[in-house]
């Protein structure tokens, strides 16, 4: 059976009520039992005081008579159940009265039958429980110093007291009657309180897969509102993610269409051109187009991995060492444009990251700097350790970008106006995502001599400089 909040709440509420009522019943029963015991003791003490005032003749007459101490007579209460009524049975009080010297003045003849005529008398006044003839009796001893009488009264102890059982039944009977009614009321009350959850589940169940606007169930209770807000926040994030993916797919398709179209044209030229030199030139352009498309596909896959927040293993690494490898990989392109690339700064500074991604970050920064830099220009790669940060900076002295384009350089497929170099517009967006993945800060600004572009990535330092 699937778990149910409604059933669980009903059971917990009813269990709590039954527990409280049970404790109240037990407490009331114990209190009633103590009060009845005190009342019976007081009644025996009163009877003993009365007997102490009688003379011997009246005591003898009373001893041969019957002293009925039942609180109610048989059939006394309309509708009473005599089978459960101990007071419906005979309850005769027995007594003994002795003089100051201990001589018996009068006593109930039944005490002879119970072998209790010569029962030792307690030394002090008070109540005691004794067993006479196999039956339990309550007794009370009164030593009246003014009259010189010693009075002892005996009364059979009821196995069940009508007063005590009456108190218990008066508490238990309404409880047993009210419990089923209370269970129904609790069941319907909890169901009514949980109705907004049904409305919410119905609203979500009936919603089309393409409808991602916020859920509105009207005036939701305080306990349900956080759930509605969380669902609406999730829907908002999902809508934003889908819109971003749609835009990404559309832009990627557009960017891939251009090199593929160029590849097709060059391939057609190569097939139709009889001149082998022109054919070779066309095929080289086909190879260049394929290389560009392959790089674009790799960058798109990398962005997809980063957007999916894929967990990557990280190790301590020196950005300067990774930068050296990136310089070697881009050395040929730099030489073709006669660009001078230098590496300066703290070569021992360390960060905690994934080496391949940091290599891709530096490769994209160097590739952009070389691609958009001026022929015969300069590129500086600097690594600096400042307090708890390690700053990696790549800057050039090329034409740079317009101030209004700086904030958009990290947008996917964005290319600054006026740039003639080929590219997909994904390089800096990949740099921004890698920096975000490792908790680094990215800043764009002016390059060497207030010309060109400067890209600074500030990582949390892994270890202090040794």
Interval 218-252: pLDDT, tens: 776 777 778 888 888 888 888 877 776 776 666 56
N-to-C CA span, the chain = 64
Q: Over 80: is that where the pLDDT of 129 sits?
A: yes
| pLDDT-derived band at 458, boundaries 50, 70, 90 | very high
Tokens of 445: 């600004």
Q: Over 50: is that where the pLDDT of 84 sits?
A: no
Segment of 1-15, 49-63, 197-211 carrying the highest mean pLDDT: 49-63
461 has which bridge partners? 351
CB 134 within 8 A of CB 157: no
The mean pLDDT of 82-89, rounded to a whole number, is 48
Q: Which fold has domain 315-463?
A: Heat Shock Protein 90 (3.30.565)
Give the H/E segment covering residue 342. Answer: strand 340-345
The whole-angstrom separation of Cα 138 and Cα 37 is 10
The number of beta carbons lying within 10 Å of the beta carbon of residue 22 is 12
| pLDDT-derived band at 423, boundaries 50, 70, 90 | low
Q: Which 8-state DSSP code applies to residue 121? A: P
CB 189 within 8 A of CB 137: no
- 3 state DSSP class of 427: helix
Cα-Cα-Cα-Cα dihedral sign, residues 64, 135, 44, 120: positive
Give the H/E segment covering residue 163. Answer: helix 162-193
Secondary structure of 165-206 as H, E, C letters = HHHHHHHHHHHHHHHHHHHHHHHHHHHHHCHHHHHHHHHHHC
The whole-angstrom separation of Cα 202 and Cα 340 is 66
Mean residue pLDDT of the chain comes to 78
Q: What is the CA radius of gyration of the chain?
A: 51
The whole-angstrom separation of Cα 81 and Cα 68 is 20
Give the least confident one: 1-5, 140-144, 236-240: 1-5
Residue with tokens 């009210």: 178
Where helices occur in 82-161 by DSSP H, the ranges are 110-113
Interval 95-113: pLDDT, tens: 999 887 888 889 889 888 8
The whole-angstrom separation of Cα 262 and Cα 253 is 14
The hierarchical CATH code for the domain 225-307 is: 1.10.287.130
The whole-angstrom separation of Cα 213 and Cα 236 is 7
What pLDDT does 374 receive?
A: 86
Q: Over 80: is that where the pLDDT of 309 sits?
A: no
Higher-pLDDT residue of 234, 74: 234
CB 394 within 8 A of CB 363: no
Domain boundaries, the chain: 5-167, 225-307, 315-463
Percentage of the chain lying above the pLDDT 90 cut? 6
Q: Over 70: is that where the pLDDT of 76 sits?
A: no
């Amino acid at each position: 059976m699937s778990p149910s909040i409604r059933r669980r709440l009903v059971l917990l509420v009813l269990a709590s009520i039954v527990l409280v009522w049970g404790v109240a019943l037990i407490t009331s029963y114990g209190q009633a039992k103590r009060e009845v015991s005190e009342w019976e003791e007081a009644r025996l003490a009163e009877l003993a005081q009365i007997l102490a005032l009688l003379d011997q003749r009246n005591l003898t007459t009373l001893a041969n008579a019957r002293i009925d101490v039942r609180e109610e007579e048989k059939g006394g209460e309309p509708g009473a159940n005599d089978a459960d009524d101990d007071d419906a049975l005979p309850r005769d009080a027995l007594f003994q009265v002795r003089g100051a010297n201990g001589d018996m003045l009068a006593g109930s003849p039944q005490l002879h039958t119970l072998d209790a005529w010569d029962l030792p008398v307690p030394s002090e006044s008070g109540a005691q429980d004794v067993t006479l003839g196999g039956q339990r009796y309550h007794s009370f001893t009164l030593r009246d110093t003014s009259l010189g009488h010693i009075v002892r009264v005996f009364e059979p102890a009821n196995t069940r007291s009508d007063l005590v059982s009456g108190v218990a039944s008066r508490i238990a009977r309404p409880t047993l009657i009210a419990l089923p009614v209370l269970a129904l009321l609790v069941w319907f009350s909890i169901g009514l309180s949980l109705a907004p959850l049904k409305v919410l589940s119905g609203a979500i169940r009936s919603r089309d897969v393409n409808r991602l606007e916020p859920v509105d169930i009207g005036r939701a209770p305080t306990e349900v509102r956080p759930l509605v807000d969380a669902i609406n926040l999730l829907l908002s994030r999902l809508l934003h993610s889908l819109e971003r993916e749609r835009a990404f797919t559309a832009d990627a398709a557009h960017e891939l269409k251009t090199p593929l179209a160029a590849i097709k044209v060059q391939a057609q030229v190569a097939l139709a051109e009889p001149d082998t030199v022109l054919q070779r030139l066309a095929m080289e352009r086909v190879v260049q187009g394929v290389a560009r498309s392959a790089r674009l596909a790799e960058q798109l896959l990398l962005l997809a991995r980063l957007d999916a927040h894929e967990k990557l293993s990280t190790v301590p690494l020196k950005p300067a060492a990774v930068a050296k490898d990136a310089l070697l990989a881009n050395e040929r392109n730099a030489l073709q444009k006669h660009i001078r690339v230098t590496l300066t700064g703290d070569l021992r500074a360390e960060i905690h990251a994934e080496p391949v991604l940091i290599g891709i970050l530096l490769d994209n920064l160097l590739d952009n700097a070389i691609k958009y830099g001026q022929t015969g220009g300069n590129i500086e790669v600097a690594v600096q350790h400042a307090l708890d940060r390690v700053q990696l900076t790549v800057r050039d002295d090329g034409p740079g970008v317009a101030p209004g384009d700086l904030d958009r350089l990290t947008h996917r497929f964005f290319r600054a106006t006026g740039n003639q170099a080929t590219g997909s517009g994904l390089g800096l967006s990949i740099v921004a995502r890698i920096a975000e993945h490792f908790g680094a800060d990215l800043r764009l600004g002016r390059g060497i001599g207030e010309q060109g572009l400067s890209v600074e990535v500030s990582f949390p330092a892994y270890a202090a400089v040794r």
